[in-house]
Amino acid sequence: MLVALTACGSGGDGAAEDGKGGGGKPAAADRTAPSKAVVSIAPKDGAKSVATSGALKVTAEQGKLSSVKVSDTKGNEIEGTVAKDGASWKPAHHLAAATEYRVHAVAKDGEGRESAKDQTFTTLVPENTFVGHFTPEDGSKVGVGMPVSLRFTRGITAPEAVERAVTVTAEPKVEIRSQWYGNDRLDFRPEEYWEPGTKVTVKLNLDGVEGRPGVYGEQAKEVSFTIGRSQVSTVDAKKKTMKVERDGKVLKTIPITAGAPGTTTYNGEMVITEKHEVTRMNGETVGFGGEYDIKDVPHAMRLSTSGTFIHGNYWSGGAFGNYNASHGCVGLRDTRGGWDKKAPGAWFYDNSMIGDVVVVKNSDDKKIQWWNGLNAWNLDWEKWNPQPKR
């Protein structure tokens, strides 16, 4: 009886020899056994001249990836994401060119056992490269109308890839959109003028981007600039006046002379992109033949690539405030040599900065094209593209 009771009692905890006893715990997994997970990395270990996009792949079979780290020899890591099913990982963006990378990937099988793999490879050395020249300059302070403009040294045939490698952000945060002009210029702007005091940051992650077949970017650079006070000056071509407003307050109303009939001034919002205390203006450079060649134009500020300036004028006599006499520029009364700092031309020059806005209205001309200068504000906001997801 004692033996029988003991036997009966031992069976009550469900621990039968075959593990199928009623209500008992299954046998624990053997943690010392090798993991069934298999990690695969492409390209192969030690590979050379690897493509900067599309070649790096990390996968797992009979398990799920738990971590993937890809870094260069300087410790810079490549961000990436593991698929929801844990079977693959892909980088968030392209790789840099001529760079050695190390991949460390870990996967776990269904029993939680880990399997790891390490490989190294080196990306290609490009024979042909391009860079993007940026405006405005790094560290500069500019007016509220200054867009970000990039001009590439080679025509781009893969605009989406290039645009994904450029990020423009602002603090305080604001939506920023982009637009291509041709295949070598990319501009960015917010919906309205920047708020004074805004810090704008441009990140160029172009190193390794294939902008056109066999041509790769070579920049990995961050630049920033700050927005100064808000100054918007409005030229009324009919009234022949310019109202200068700063931070919402009128500083001064100045008599002007705009484009004469037949050589009228563009309408629209124009941004000051250059300042010259004295410059030469020759009609031959802008399609007016030998109609004029003035070697000492004072206090000139460029408003368009095609030759529109707002500048001091000492030769137009009584035109200011009375009639329009220029070849398309906006003229302000000034002195030869610019010695009179109280003259309207000198005063406006001294009180203007790169990035300030000059708006022309009521001229018998069309609106200036957005790409003629840095005049992004003349293209409707709806036609600008949201920055791509990265």
Residues forming the active site: 311, 329
184: closest CA among 202, 204, 158?
158
Distance between start and end Cα atoms, the chain: 77
What does the block give as tokens for 326?
């220029």
Cis (ω within 30 of 0) for the bond into 136?
yes
Q: How many angstroms separate the CA atoms of 272 and 275, rounded?
A: 8
Quick check: 308 and 325 in contact, CB under 8 A?
no
Q: Count, in order, helices (H) and strands (E) of the chain.
A: 3, 29
Q: Is 377 helix (H, G, I), strand (E, B) or coil?
A: helix
CA pair distance 61, 244, nearest whole angstrom: 69
Dist CA 309 CA 318 (whole Å): 20
Structure tokens that stand for 252 in this block: 């001064």
Which residues does residue 281 pair with via DSSP β-bridges, in sequence order?
294
Rounded CA gap, 368 and 267, in Å? 6
The angle formed by the CA atoms of residues 194, 195 and 199, to the nearest 5 degrees, is 80
CA nearest neighbour of 321 among 253, 255, 252: 255
Task: Report the length, in residues, of the chain.
Answer: 390
Burial 275-286 (b: 16+ CB within 10 A, else e): eeeebebeeeeb
Rounded (5°) CA angle 353-302-298: 85
Are 188 and 168 spatial neighbours (Cβ–Cβ below 8 Å)? Answer: yes
